[in-house]
Structure 1
Amino acid sequence: MEIYHLLNRGVEKRNVVLNDADRVRFIHDLYAFNDLNDVDANHRFREFKSPHVRVPLVDIYAFCLMPNHYHILASEIEEGGISMFMRKLNMGYAKYFNEKYKRSGVLWQGTFKRILLQRDAHFLHIPFYIHLNPLDMAFPQWRAGKVRNIDKALKFLAQYRWSSYLDYSGVKNFPSILSQELLADVLGSSARQKRIIKDIISSPNLAREASKLE
């Protein structure tokens, strides 16, 4: 099984979500477009009921949505599933965004960036890196391992809904999107995750290694 770190940014680093309604839409798209079947880009928030049977394209293990970019950790279920899923996701969300804000043109910098995890160390650290991204908005010094108020940083992460961090911390946030079994042992308990996060954001060497993963 090959696991990939997938990411994309808004064109010219522009914000791609402007409010919580956009964030909810993007998160919902992670679920809706992860389907081999055709999905209307103008889909509404609803449960897909019989006779529609979802055929997932990928397993999503972790994700984080930021104001101008996103990160996804995933592997293919269907052959070519990652390319198909990412095409649906990027095009579908761009269509929603452009129609809502009456704009035209591309929303994303390109198709998407795909990084194959080739080393065990990479696999062990990438979920933490993805979940630490929101700290850029309040504690950018985490990338240098110089966060002084650790408890405040952890509280900020616990209040940030738009990633898979909460689901791995015992809080059901967006569980229907995730395949959690693979990372459950890697991340461990909520207490273990907090210990590792504390080490990363307060240690220059560990933070430097984490920041190399993008």
Structure 2
Amino acid sequence: MPRTPREKSPTGIYHIIMRGVNRQRIFEDHEDRQKLLEKLFKFRGVSGYRIFAYCLMDNHIHILIQENKEPLSRAMKRLSSSYVMYFNHKYERVGHLFQERYRSEVVDNDRYLLTALRYIHQNPLKAKMVEDVTSYRWSSYNEYFNDGYLVDKDFVLELFGPSREKALAQFIAFHGEINDDKCIEIEEPRMNDGRLKEIIRDRIGMDASDIENEDKMRQISILRKLKTIDGINTRQLSRLTGIPYIRVWRA
């Protein structure tokens, strides 16, 4: 069945989400997060896109972006492919890291641009990872107050006020407002253990608990196949098979 074409933004601006396949972590340490930002900066020179906001969470990324010289799909493919190559080499793993198709929504006016901006910056706050948006290191919020190199600050700040001082004051106030902002979010299908055991048995013709009795190469082949099941995650697969988490993760 063919995929539904993405809606085209009249402004060229989109809120996109790139998520780890089956909720897998895409960052293991600060070096990984910094590497992703470096690549986002590097490929900006190739693709010409503009970044207005970003937030790196453990298993997904939010980016508020405007496409330019090339289609956004091509730019995101370049970014994800380059990062996956780095990640797989560093952690001695193979296979997919990101869900195959990133999610996106059209940002077609200034009001929704600011809504998406706040939603992205408040993601760690709403996930209860921090108590204040200023405390999260891996979002673009603090770039608006320093010499950060990635975000196009002027475009956004002009929407808040004529002078930089007033604009920043309004920027802070806007992020502090109580809100119920709704934007696209990652889809998190979940599957209970009983149902997953049935699916594994149907897929490979054996019980999940028997997989650890197979030789190493056969285990890897089976695990790669099972990791494509929508709704499964690495920790759950490790628990059901009895195979150590790190081996499942690397498969």
TM-score with structure 2 setting the length: 0.62
Structure 1 or 2, whichever has the larger Rg, is 2
Alignment partners' CA distance in 2, 1:73 and 1:93: 19
1:83, 1:17 → 2: CA distance? Answer: 22
The residue number in structure 1 matching 2:35 is: 25
Residues of 1 paired with 2:105 and 2:21: CA distance? 20
CA distance in 1, matches of 2:28, 2:108: 35
Which residue of the partner structure matches residue 152 of structure 2? 179
Identity %: 32
Deviation for aligned residue 1:179: 1.8
Q: Is the 8 A contact 1:87 1:111 kept in 2?
A: no
Q: For residue 112 of structure 2, what is the amino acid of its counterpart?
A: H
Partner of residue 166, structure 1: 142
Distance across 1 between alignment mates of 2:21 and 2:78: 18
Question: What are the equivalent positions in structure 2 for 1:198-213 lying under 5 Å apart?
Answer: 198-200=176-178, 206-207=179-180, 210-213=181-184
Ranked by relative contact order (alpha carbons within 8 Å, sequence separation 6 or more), the top structure is 1
Unmatched 5+ stretches in structure 1 = 37-55, 140-151, 201-205
Amino acid in the other structure paired with 1:165: Y
Matching of residues 128-139 of structure 1 within 5 Å = 128-138=118-128
Per-residue CA deviation, residues 110-146 of structure 1 (Å, 9 max, x unaligned), is 131121113443223111001111114426xxxxxxx
Q: How does 1:1-214 map to 2 (within 5 A)?
A: 1-36=11-46, 56-80=47-71, 82-138=72-128, 153-154=131-132, 157-168=133-144, 170-172=145-147, 175-187=148-160, 189-200=167-178, 206-207=179-180, 210-214=181-185
Residues 116 and 183 in structure 2, CA contact (< 8 A), matched pair in contact too: no
Instruction: Work out whether residues 90 and 108 of structure 1, in 8 Å CA contact, stay in contact via their aligned partners in 2.
Output: yes
Contact preservation (8 Å) 1:29, 1:89: yes
Q: What TM-score do you get using the length of structure 1 for normalisation?
A: 0.72
Give the drift of 1:60.
1.2
Q: Please state how far the C-alpha of 1:192 moved relative to its aligned partner.
A: 2.4
Amino acid at match of 1:180: K
Give secondary structure in 2 for the equivalent of 1:33: helix
CA root-mean-square deviation: 2.0
Asked whether the equivalents of residues 57 and 85 of structure 1 are also in contact (C-alpha less than 8 Å), the reply is no
How far does the alpha carbon of each residue in 1:71-124 deviate from its partner, in whole angstroms, 9 at most, with x for none?
A: 1111122032x1222011111111111111111110011131121113443223
Change (3 A) 1:12 1:75: same
One-letter identity of the residue aligned with 2:50: D
CA-CA distance at 1:178 after TM superposition: 1.9
Q: Does the 8 Å contact 1:35/1:85 carry over to 2?
A: no
**Counterpart secondary structure, 2:27:** coil
Q: Secondary structure at the match of 2:98?
A: coil
CA deviation string 1:125-172 (max 9, x = no partner): 111001111114426xxxxxxxxxxxx833xx222221110012x123
SS at match of 1:95: helix
